[in-house]
Chain A
Amino acid sequence: MTLLQGNADLVLLVIVAWALQDRVKNTWLWAIIAGLLTSFISGLQFPVLIGSYLVIVAGIRLLIKRIWQVPILMMLVGTILGTIVLLVIEYMTLVIGGTPLPIGDSMSLVILPSVLLNLLFSIPVYTLIADLANWLYPNEKEA
């Protein structure tokens, strides 16, 4: 799904939602796997996506411990920040590599539409991932 030149990044949303689950221990591993899989088909340099996903996971783990305990709000904040971080890192990598990308167009045609699309999908993705996490790691009291 695209809006202007931006698109929804389901992999990023899954990583953000997965990182927000308290009981999940191996988020880092999944961030690396997601980065590897995406890098395999992307024209970006190999470590860029892995590094971006790891930075996003680190940011979310940091925020969730120190700031909010409301996961649904954290999902929205994580989606906005995660999308911006990922696309800014991609943008900087490409610009440093010599690709001419106007910053105004990049912001208005790619980054902001992508943030909007990701926000639209963030709540459904969070619900699915939360259910999946509860199914895989049931609460000890419930069990």
Chain B
Amino acid sequence: MNNKLPRYFQTAVLILVVGGILILALSGYLNPAIQSASDPLIKVQTWVSSRYLAIYQFFTVPRDVASLREQVASLEEENNLLKTKNIELEQSLQVAKVLSELVGFARNRPENQYVAASVIGRDPSPFLHYVIIDQGSDNGLRYGMPVVTQQGLVGRIDAVIGGASRVQLLTDPGSTVNVTLQNAGEDGVITGSLTGDLNLEMVAQDVTLETGDLVLTSGLGGSYPQDIVVGQVITIRRRETDLFQTASIQSVVDFANLQAVLVIKNFSPVDISPLIPETNP
């Protein structure tokens, strides 16, 4: 019977059937049939897949943990290196900051020649306040040269060797500096002490001292140049029975955290000791 039907009719029926199935599938009418047909296949596929994954993980996961551990160790090492580098850079930045301030200070005073030096040590004796700097006679430093920072006076060179010098700080008990009070216009002497405090002495009783008065080097005695900032008056002690009044001075320099200093190279201290008359007992 089929052979009797025209060929084009068979083709048309086939297209209609296929098209109908497609339309039914697309419109969702065949879903229950497709689902019931695919469910067993999906279950089989799920079972095979889960077994395959279990076997795969059994062989590969330990290897992954080892490699992850290696990665973690390597990252931790890298992290530590970066932290160390960061600390080094922060320190370099701090040093650069201090040096930049010193350079700025030196540029503002072209009349002086400066040699920059780093503080590399402190005197081991608790009675003395000295620091060691990394520049010496090879760099033109000599005994007695004044040492400053951008804030103010630090002290003077007490001993020199080729590559290093020892600096006596203002706070040393044996240090004395002739100073002048900026507001009062009077002279005095600043001495160090065991505790590192600065004391202003030899100020006449009739001079009006005020808290906050700026204290500068006077240049008297020839040990230091004039007009270097030393500190500010913080406490005044005046007694009627004393010849002179005294005061505590707050230094402008932070001696506890002294890192870098400038040595004034073109100032030669004057030794006036031969001019001082000897006192006979």
Q: Which residues of A contact B (CB under 8 A)?
A: 2, 5-7, 9, 11, 38, 41-44, 87, 90-91, 94, 97-102, 105-106, 109-110, 114
Contacts and interface: CB of A to CB of B under 8 A. Distances in A.
B158 A43 contact: yes
Given A43-B158, A99-B173, A105-B194, A110 B121 contact: no
A109 B124 contact: no
20 contacts: A11-B124, A41-B121, A41-B166, A42-B123, A42-B124, A42-B125, A43-B123, A43-B128, A43-B158, A43-B172, A90-B127, A91-B127, A94-B127, A97-B174, A99-B173, A101-B127, A101-B173, A101-B194, A105-B194, A110-B126
A41 B123 contact: yes
Contacts of B126: 2, 5-7, 87, 110, 114
A5 B173 CA distance: 13
B143 to A, nearest CB: 13
B102 interface: no
A98 B123 contact: no
B174 A98 contact: yes
Contacts of A102: 194
Contacts of B172: 43
Interface of B: 121, 123-128, 130, 132, 158-159, 166, 168, 172-174, 191, 194-196
Contacts of B191: 100
Given A43-B172, A101-B194, 14 more contacts: A38-B124, A43-B159, A43-B166, A43-B168, A87-B126, A87-B127, A94-B128, A99-B173, A100-B173, A105-B195, A106-B127, A110-B126, A110-B194, A114-B126
A71 B154 CA distance: 45
Contact of A41 (B124, B127, B194): B124
A73 B123 CA distance: 30
Nearest to B130: A43
A40 B42 CA distance: 89
Contacts of B159: 43
A87 B196 CA distance: 18
Contacts of A42: 123-125, 128, 130
B175 to A, nearest CB: 9
A7 B132 CA distance: 18
A48 B168 CA distance: 19
A5 B195 contact: yes
A5 B171 CA distance: 13
Nearest to A11: B124
Q: Which of B121, B168, B194 has the most chain A CB within a 10 Å cutoff? A: B194
Nearest to B158: A43
A99 to B, nearest CB: 4
Contacts of B130: 42-43
Contacts of B121: 41
A129 B195 CA distance: 33
A49 to B, nearest CB: 8
B189 to A, nearest CB: 12
Nearest to A9: B124
Contact of A109 (B123, B168, B174, B194): B194
A98 B159 CA distance: 18
Nearest to A91: B127
A97 B124 CA distance: 18
A106 B126 CA distance: 10
Most chain-B Cβ atoms within 10 A of its Cβ — which of A41, A44, A99, A110?
Answer: A41
A41 B132 contact: yes
A118 to B, nearest CB: 11
Contacts of A100: 173-174, 191
A69 to B, nearest CB: 32
